[in-house]
Chain A
Amino acid sequence: MSTTRALSVRGLAKRFGALVVAQEIDLDLAPGARVALIGPNGAGKTTFVNLLTGFLEPDRGRIELWGQSLQGLRPEQRVRRGLVRTHQINQLLADNTARDNLAIAIAERDRHAWRLFRFGRQWDRCCEEAQQRLEEMETAAAADRRVSELPYGEQRLLEIAIALSLRPRVLLLDEPAAGVPSHETEVIHQALDRLPADIAILIIEHDMGVVFRFAHEIVVLAQGRVLARGSPAAISADPRVRAVYLGKSPV
């Protein structure tokens, strides 16, 4: 019954020249799932997100969102169907305020972004919702500041807030705390805890503490292949996983 799955991936494959970055990846996300994707640097985790969201074209494989194939759909069309991502490296409108960054996303979601006429009230409403979302993220103080002036931790929160404002049904979080100084990471982890329960979430994360707290299931990727998958307990006991993480953060 593929229709009960929020996201279903079968046999996904991709290579850059001689470099294989995805081979025969299978993955299922149930509605409301919390799955962590881990793996060493260069394993192909970000590439996997790019393949799912349509920023990269896979060589082979099927991707279904709620039983509907995403074949041939452009990234923006996938977003409209509820498949939303965040970025390992911030992708924000640096010259705009935090509120505008959100309001622009909200306007796009509500299909106001083609409007040239009588847009005043709709735009105000987008800004109101943006403000509200910033308050929920406890970053309301950032609303009127240019993004480029915000501390990196708050920029990371904004990445998440933008993704959430699009009302995703499946959310792909690519290392939400990447690059954030350790004293600021706790805020981001708290934001992860508050994510709506009904969204199916795939999180890429290196911090095993966060992975264990957040995920019910872990998928380990190495050299573009699924090396292991299972419950956090099973994965942490798996010697193969220990091997690829040799010398890295404790598993």
Chain B
Amino acid sequence: MRRARVVAAIGHAVPWAIAVVYFFAVPSDLDFGTQVMIWILFAMSLDLALGYAGILTLGQAAFFGLGAYTAGLFAIHLSPDPLLGHLAAIGVTMLVGALTGAMILHTTGVTLLMLTLAIVSVLSQYANQATDLTGGDNGLQGIRLDPIFGVFEFNIFGKTAYFYALVVLFGWFVLARRIVHSPFGRSLDGIRQNPHRMRAIGTPVWWRLLAIYTISAAMAGSAGALSAHATRFVGLSVLDLLTSGTVTVALILGGTRRLYGGFIGATIYLVVQDYSAKISPFFWEFVVGGLLIATVLLLEGGLLDFGPAVLRLRDRWQAGQRR
């Protein structure tokens, strides 16, 4: 019991230790590390809605994009304070999450999927048209930020952005862990498995889904804000359907309902993308596609299931030997 706890504690420490080591080991490419953490947060937000609560959504980019544009516009028009801008992004995405959630969460399955797609499409179209506001195809440029707490400046080496992303990711991770282990989280797990059962024990299913959808939206919005702040740029691609697709692939690759699934999935996705894109842009899509198919076919719990899957194979092999 004691040993299991120690092992678990070490397990929990690993990703964060890697993040800190990376900072010192690869100072030349902190931007890449920051991107990875942003996508981890984004994937984690999807894990709460899709993985834990079973909300079939392909619309997560709506909140990532909305968060990014809010943070960018806030910096340009209202205040260059990054933390205020970040809070504004969280507030706006929470609000939009709650409003759109209220409209769509009584549906399920393909209907829900279509509605979430529609929401991204509408926002994406709007961002494309409203060139005065968003810069359209050129993107939102000229974002200037004050130093965080008036001390840590955003600079070209990306040190501040890196730690900023790390701290935000850690904060959300702690909250997400809370959520999934709480009675609230357990009821979401029940809703995913059998909403009828949950209603029969008195669960207000719609309200629970709305709550987690709103939290998930805020988390995705926070990831979007990080993206806007880290790159000081917001392009139309943040609201692209492809962005929704990518985060879904990353999550499924790493494994849903583990919280750490997004860590593995987003990291592998970006690393593979980075490397194979250097060889050929076509090649990388091929690699990611192959990886996804292999994961879904061979590892029901995503790449995080790799270890246990190998153990299962070994057990089966040994059982075969005995016979």
Contact = CB atoms under 8 A, between A and B. Distances in A.
Contact of B197 (A93, A117, A122, A126): A93
B202 A79 contact: yes
Interface stretch (A101-109, A191-199, A209-217): A101-109
Nearest to B193: A93
Top 4 nearest A-B pairs by Cβ distance?
A: A79-B202, A105-B201, A91-B197, A107-B183
A122 B182 CA distance: 10
Contacts of A76: 199, 202-205
A75 B183 contact: no
A100 B193 CA distance: 13
Interface of A: 53, 55, 74-76, 79-80, 84-85, 87, 91-96, 100, 103-105, 107-109, 112-117, 119, 122-123, 126, 162, 166
Interface string B159-202: 00000000000000000001100111011011001101111111
A14 to B, nearest CB: 19
B194 A113 contact: no
Contacts of B187: 104, 107-108, 113
Contacts of B202: 76, 79-80, 108-109, 166
Given A91-B194, A93-B193, A116 B199 contact: no
A115 B197 contact: no
Interface of B (DSSP majority class): helix
30 contacts: A55-B196, A76-B199, A76-B202, A76-B203, A79-B201, A80-B202, A91-B197, A93-B193, A93-B194, A94-B193, A96-B189, A96-B190, A100-B186, A103-B186, A104-B187, A105-B201, A107-B183, A107-B186, A107-B187, A108-B202, A109-B201, A109-B202, A113-B184, A113-B186, A114-B183, A115-B184, A116-B179, A123-B182, A126-B183, A162-B201
Interface in B64-90: none
Nearest to B211: A114
B91 to A, nearest CB: 19
Contact of A113 (B178, B197, B203): B203
Interface residues of B, number: 22
A119 B182 contact: yes
Contacts of A85: 200
Contacts of B196: 55, 91
A87 B197 CA distance: 9
Contacts of B189: 93, 96
Contacts of A95: 193
Contacts of B198: 108
Contact of A75 (B186, B193, B199, B208): B199
A154 B190 CA distance: 19
A122 B186 CA distance: 13
Interface string B245-284: 0000000000000000000000000000000000000000
